[in-house]
Amino acid sequence: MIDINESVMQFLLAFIVVGPLVGAAAALLPAPPGLKGKSPEQAVLRHGVTVTGAVLIAAIVLTLGFDHDHPSKMQATTDISWIPALDVRIHLGTDGISLPLLVLTALLTFLCALYSYFKMPSGPTPKAFVALLLVLESGTLATFAVLDLLLFFLAFEMVLIPMYFLIARWGGEQRQAAAWKFILYTLLGSVVMLLGLLLIGIKAGTFDMVALATDNHPALTTSVQVIAVLAIGIGLAVKTPMWPLHSWLPDAHTAAPTVGSVLLAGVLLKMGTYGFVRILLPITPDGMSTFAPYLAAFAVVGIIYGSLACLALAKQGAKGDLKRLIAYSSVGHMGFVLLGIATMTPTGVNGALFANIAHGLITGLLFFLVGALKDRTGTSDLDTLAEETGAALYGKAPRLGGLLAFGAVASLGLPGLAGFWGEMLALFGAFDPADDLSRPAFLTFMAIAAFGTLLTAAYMLIVVRRVCMGATPQQEGPKLADVQTYEFAAWTPLVALTVVAGLWPKALLGLTDPAVQQLLAGGTR
Amino acid sequence: MSPLAQSLVQSVDWLAIAPPTIAAVVGLVVLVADLFVGDAKKALLGWVSVAGLAVSALALLPLLDGDRSTFCLTGDPDVCSYTADRFTLVIQLLVLGGALLAALLSVTALKDANRGLPEGEFWFLLLSSAAGAALLPASRDLATLIVALEVASLPAFALVGIKHGDRKSSEAALKFFLSSVTATAVSLMGISFVYASTGTLYLTEIATRIENVDGQLHTLAQAGVVLTLVGFAFKTAAVPFHFWVPDTYVGAPLPVAAYLSVVGKAVGFSGLILVTVIALPSYADVWGPALAALAALTMTIGNVGALRQQATRAYSAVRLLAWSSVGQAGYLLVPIAAAAYSEDAEKAIGSTLAYALMYAAVNLGAFAVAALVARTKPLNRVIDYRGLYASRPLAALVLGFFLLCLAGLPPGIIGLFAKVTVFSAAVDAGLGWLAVVMAVNVVIALFYYLQWTTLLFRAPEGEPETHRVPAPLTAAIALTAVLGIALSGAPQLVLRFSDTGLF
């Protein structure tokens, strides 16, 4: 939109990746004179807000400087040799597929830092909290910005340690077990993924994603591709998570502190689906089309399974935890994303990428809201909250109730909000999958997935009924604080973007579509 | 000189053999000097030895310009007993650097022991063992190889048992000694078989002649190959020759355990590499699968052993490091096994070297921090590390970094890429199953490394007590930390060995 010098663009992208790391190191040092603030805790939390804010600004400027007429072209690219022995290059760049994810990550991390500034989760020192948050941000941003397979793996691994500590140190009940489950599952997945990446790199002689996507390497025979897709796919599917590899997710979400859940759902899960789109679709199309029906089948099972689990949790007397419920709903939503990818059509993949962003916005918002609710009432247990008739949030804290209802209907895919387009496009894609995929199979998947949207609507509405509605208690109980200013500040951007993306999907699709077309056409169009 | 004398008297390239020779000479000097130095000045011996190791490491510098060989056959100058090529230099750097760091740790340990350990003998033994270990990678005939192996091992037995009147120490030494001597004996028998079937001891000669072994002697040659490998597998502590490791490490003084974990392993796998890749490439179908199986077993049993350590047991930190070093030995064996299947054996071997260099730096670092903690908590249980961050934030951060390097996760970037080279050697050689076994092992290993790391940052129990850290210990920790961090920024420094010719 605005013309920015190419080297400035390069710097911006590099800053987005490296800046948080430097900030993390700085967070561990004592505050310099003049920036001491009221207390060391306050100073370091403010430091977190400043750094994530600077990264967000850089991401926004990057978006403004991005050449929106050529979103399929890699922009702001840097390409420096790092480890010649392994042929690892520091190759950064962004296109229409990764740019929205970069902005989403920067935004959500900033909102989390802002939220923590006012509402620090209970646990050990904020110093470590801020440092870990920043390392996490750097890792996720790097995942979306790098164009080298081994660097991608490095970035993928980089988020494990910070997220582990965020859950294990600042989490709720059962946090140790949940944190272990999270890190062991994902590590096992990503090590297997490494084997697949090495197989591709060694056979093709390069680890560069752009080079791999553009030329069809004769060495990548179908059998090599099949093995590679299997190995890489397992790693990515654990992260996404795809049913039946999802079982770490509900525990991790339930135990994680609010900002941990927001980032886990909003950003970390996207690393898995992004890998499918960025690596598997263009580099190993043959292997991918072998596995696409299975992927779609698992995705559809995930949709139904997630919805049924949510329905069971939402039932009266089930002692369902709201955080766990939203976590299971993520399994369902990510099922739609995987279904879209599995169709291997531009429509489906665009839908997947759209659903990715929408899920980040909406589920991020929902986790914020549930976290706030838990802080106020001391529980996120649905039965305790709702008691006999319902929690009556509309009556006790109307703004909080309203936002929760908004998040719920956005999540169930109400037309006009962000959740709608992604899922609809994914279903469209399944209606007419790529040529070499079996159409009847995908029609079946589409029908089942469409049924899944009904189930989603059902449990989301049950949640709204049980949490927001109900008889307002007559006697003066302990008062429930309504939405605070800082909470508004943290949540408004998410609400606004949900509406904008719902009403003006072209803003996003215009970016992703050309890039997707090019990826599916083998990098040359 | 008359032509006859010229053909009989070899010219010796003193520069090439300088690194092991300096270490040996300084060792002798220290032993003699011990007789004349008063009790008050015994610490001087330690510093002389540290300086000696530093000089012998520096003596590698002039050798960088190219390959040198000495002690060659007068009739055939291409067949030599001592070669200082790139492979030799890398291992010598590892051995001498590792010995130097272990020596820095020992300076403090000896001072703390307050004459409980005989200083002169200690330094003599350490330096002799280092000299033997430095000689080993350069040796190119089986006799020199075995002599070097014994020069490296015999002082090590004494070092393990050096704690006077300590039952555990003597028991550990005896265990170590008996099992090691058995292994060497088996190895010697293997060598005699190989010699019987080929008629030569020079590695390169064996390589050419063993292909044309008489059919009757074929079985003999094969048995010889397998038996020879046993001795070296023992030194690397490969399963099933690993059982001595935990008890020996616990019984030995901590710096000696650190020394064994790095230099002892280097001795083993460099011998393995020489015997397999240089002497017996034509028997790759024998030793390849054997080493692959050995690697898989070693890493699995080592990691499971480490996993089963109870944090509250006495000396569990050293035990854990001991078992984890067995697991790491498994990773080191993977590329050697891969060399059997790969077209470019040197590239695979280079992965082992790169991994070994990384492992040496961070493992010695972990031992250095363990030595620091052991000063206040002599039981050295894993649980004693709880809340280390509160009392010694830097030591805790550094130990966390070392452990994550060993686990191979960021921020330990060098650990991650070292594992990547090993994986890529396995994948390149088509050893997919071994790569998968290793992948599972990486996950198992993460569990105990991360468990330990987490403990460091827990809230401490009781008041943290701080003591002044002795300078040599600080130097050792700082040196390894700087190495680890520098390598994480520029992994190419060690990974380049996986990309260039070695021999």
Q: Note the pLDDT tens digit of each residue in B337-372.
A: 999 998 888 888 999 999 999 999 999 999 999 999
Residue B375 CB neighbours (<10 A):
16
For β-strands B80-84 and B68-72, DSSP reports them as antiparallel
Question: Do B432 and A226 form a contact (C-beta atoms < 8 A)?
Answer: no
* ipTM at complex level: 0.91
Candidate from B417, B432, B442 with C-beta closest to A83: B417
Count Cα atoms within 13 angstroms, Cβ side, for A396.
24
Q: Give the pLDDT confidence of B143-167 residue by residue, as tens digits.
A: 999 999 999 989 988 888 887 677 7
Query: Could you tell me the two tokens for A411?
Result: 């999540």
Q: How many CB pairs under 8 A join A and B?
A: 92
For B450, which of A139, A183, A192 is closest by C-beta distance?
A: A183
Measured between CA atoms, how close is A168 to chain B, in angstroms? 9
Lowest mean pLDDT among A163-177, A235-249, A381-395, B91-105: A381-395
Per the CB < 8 Å rule, is A157 touching B416? Answer: yes
Contact A32, A64 (CB under 8 A): no
Cα–Cα dist A419/A424, whole Å: 9
Question: Where do the structural domains in chain B lie, given as residue ranges?
Answer: 282-503
Selection from A69-83, B166-180, B230-244 with the highest mean pLDDT:
A69-83
**Helix-then-strand count for chain A, H and E:** 23, 2
Helix boundaries (H) for A240-381: 248-255, 258-263, 269-275, 281-283, 285-314, 322-343, 346-377
pLDDT tens digits, one per residue of B461-481: 777 667 788 888 999 999 999
CB B495 within 8 A of CB B421: yes
Distances (CA, A) of A68 to A94, A112, B216, B400: 12, 29, 77, 44
Output the six-digit token pair for B180. Answer: 């090691």
Nearest to A306 by CA among A191, A421, A423: A423
Please state the rounded mean pLDDT for residues B76-81: 84
Helix (H, G, I), strand (E, B), or coil: what is residue B374? helix
Higher pLDDT, A36 or B182: B182
Q: Is the pLDDT confidence value at A524 over 50?
A: no
CA distances from A148 to A35, A86, A239, B415 (A): 38, 11, 19, 19
Of the candidates A48, A62, A47, A52, the residue with the CA atom closest to the CA atom of residue A110: A52
Among B410, B447, B495, the residue with its CB nearest the CB of A83 is B495
**Average pLDDT estimate for B178-187:** 87
Q: How far apart are CA B423 and CA B437, in angstroms?
A: 11
Taking contacts as CB-CB distances below 8 angstroms, the residues of chain A near B497 are 85
Tell me the pLDDT tens digit for each residue of A293-328: 999 999 999 999 999 999 998 888 778 888 999 999
* pLDDT the model gives residue A523: 58
Tell which of B454, B496, B497 to mutate to test the A interface (max A CBs under 10 Å).
B454
Measure B435 CA to nearest chain A CA, in Å. Answer: 7
pLDDT band for B494, please (50, 70, 90 cuts): confident
Residue B5 token pair: 């004398």
Output the CA–CA distances (angstroms, integers) from residue A264 to A162, A450, B88, in the order listed.
11, 26, 48
Which of A150, A183, A191 would you mutate first to test chain B, the one with the most B CBs within 10 A? A191
Question: Out of A392-401, B121-130, B302-311, which region has the weakest mean confidence (pLDDT)?
Answer: A392-401
- pLDDT level of residue A478 (50, 70, 90 thresholds): low
Chain A interface includes B342 (CB < 8 A): no
Average pLDDT, integer, range A143-156: 93
Residue B443: list chain A partners with CB under 8 A. 184, 187-188, 191
Amino acid (1-letter code) at residue B96: L
Per-residue exposure over A195-225, b if at least 16 CB sit within 10 Å of its own CB, e if not: bbbbbbbbbbebbbbbbbbeeebeebeeebb
Assessment of whether the complete model's pTM goes beyond 0.80: yes
Pick the more confident residue, B462 or B49.
Answer: B49
Burial of A385 (0-12, 13-18, 19+ CB in 10 A): buried
Residue of B nearest to A193 (CA): B439
In the block, tokens 């003596």 appear at: B59
Question: Are A51 and A23 a contacting pair, CB within 8 Å?
Answer: yes
The pLDDT of residue B111 is 86
The C-alpha angle A415, A421, A424, rounded to 5 degrees, equals 95
Cα of B104 vs its chain's centroid, Å: 17
Classify residue B114 as left (phi > 0), alpha (psi -120 to 50) or beta.
Answer: left
| pLDDT digits 0-9 by tens, B410-427 | 888 999 999 999 999 999
Using alpha carbons only, what angle is made at residue A475 by residues A474 and A478, rounded to the nearest 5 degrees?
115
- pLDDT category at B2 given cuts 50, 70, 90 is low
Instruction: Give the nearest partner residue to A198 out of B423, B443, B459, using CB atoms.
Output: B423
The residue-averaged pLDDT of A14-20 equals: 93
pLDDT for B499:
77
Tokens of B383: 């649980």
B382: confidence class by pLDDT, cuts 50, 70, 90 = confident
Instruction: Provide the token pair at A252.
Output: 């991790």
Residue B129: which pLDDT band, with cuts at 50, 70 and 90?
very high
Do A62 and A102 touch, CB atoms closer than 8 A?
yes
Quote the strand ranges of B311-451, DSSP E: none
Please classify residue B113 by burial: count the beta carbons closer than 10 Å to its beta carbon, then call 0-12 exposed, 13-18 middle and 19+ buried.
middle
- How deeply is A90 buried, as exposed, middle or buried, from its count of CB atoms within 10 A (0-12, 13-18, 19+)? middle
**Which chain B residues have a beta carbon less than 8 Å from that of A85?**
354, 421, 491-492, 495-499
**Pick from A150, A165, A227: which is nearest to B420 by CB?**
A150
Contact across the interface for B443 and A192, Cβ inside 8 Å: no
Q: Is the pLDDT of residue A151 over 90?
A: yes
Q: For an interface test with B, give the residue of A143, A158, A194, A197 to mutate (most B CBs within 10 A).
A: A194
Residue B74 has pLDDT above 70, yes or no: yes
Helices (H), A146-221: 149-158, 160-170, 175-204, 209-214
Is the CB of A191 less than 8 angstroms away from the CB of B442? Answer: yes
Q: Closest Cα of chain B to A176: distance in Å?
A: 10
Give residues with Cβ within 8 angstroms of B86, minimum separation 6.
B67, B497, B500, B501, B502, B503
Contacts of B445 (CB under 8 A, 6+ apart): B303, B306, B324, B327, B406, B407, B408
Q: What is the DSSP secondary-structure string of A97-110?
A: THHHHHHHHHHHHH
Structural contact between residues B133 and B55, judged by C-beta atoms closer than 8 angstroms: no
pLDDT at A525: 44
Tokens for B35? 């007789």
Q: How far apart are CA A443 and CA A293, in angstroms?
A: 11
- pLDDT computed for residue B464 by the predictor: 64
Looking at chain B, the number of H-run helices and the number of E-run strands are 21, 2
Report the alpha-carbon distance of residue B474 to residue B291 in Å, rounded. Answer: 39
Q: Do A161 and B410 touch (CB under 8 A)?
A: yes
Cα dist from A87 to B142, B159, B171, B215, B440, whole Å: 37, 43, 49, 46, 25
> Residue B14's CB: how many other CB atoms inside 10 A?
9
Inter-chain contact A161–B409, Cβ cutoff 8 Å? yes
CB of B491 within 8 Å of a chain A CB? The answer is yes
Q: What is the distance in angstroms between the Cα of B366 and the nearest Cα belonging to chain A?
A: 19
Classify the C-alpha dihedral A213-A216-A222-A225 as positive or negative: negative
Average pLDDT of span A9-25: 92
Higher-pLDDT residue of A225 and A471 is A225
Q: How many Å lie between the alpha carbon of A364 and the closest alpha carbon of chain B?
A: 26
Residue position matching structure tokens 């590390």: B385
**Residue B92 and residue B18 in contact, taking contact as beta carbons nearer than 8 Å:** no
Mutate to test the interface with A, among B386, B389, B404, B420 (most CBs of A within 10 A): B420
A429 has pLDDT over 80: yes
**Radius of gyration for chain B, computed over Cα atoms and rounded to the nearest angstrom:** 22
Burial class of residue B220 (count of CB atoms within 10 Å of its CB; 0-12, 13-18, 19+): middle
Q: What percent of chain B has pLDDT over 70?
A: 97
Mean pLDDT, rounded, of chain A: 89
* Contact assessment for residue B237 and residue B297, using Cβ atoms and an 8 Å cutoff: no
C-beta of residue B210 within 8 angstroms of C-beta of residue B283 = yes
The model's pLDDT over A60-101, given as tens digits with 9 standing for 90+, comes to: 999 999 888 888 888 888 999 898 888 889 999 999 999 999
Nearest to A202 by CA among B125, B428, B100: B428
B424·A158 Cβ contact <8 A: no
Cβ <8 Å between A183 and B442: no
Residue type, B409: L
Chain B: give the shortest CA distance to residue A309, in Å: 29
Ranges of each domain in chain A: 6-520
Report the distance separating Cα A60 and Cα B197, nearest Å: 74
Phi/psi of residue B84, each to 5°? -105, 80
B252 and A CB contact within 8 Å: no
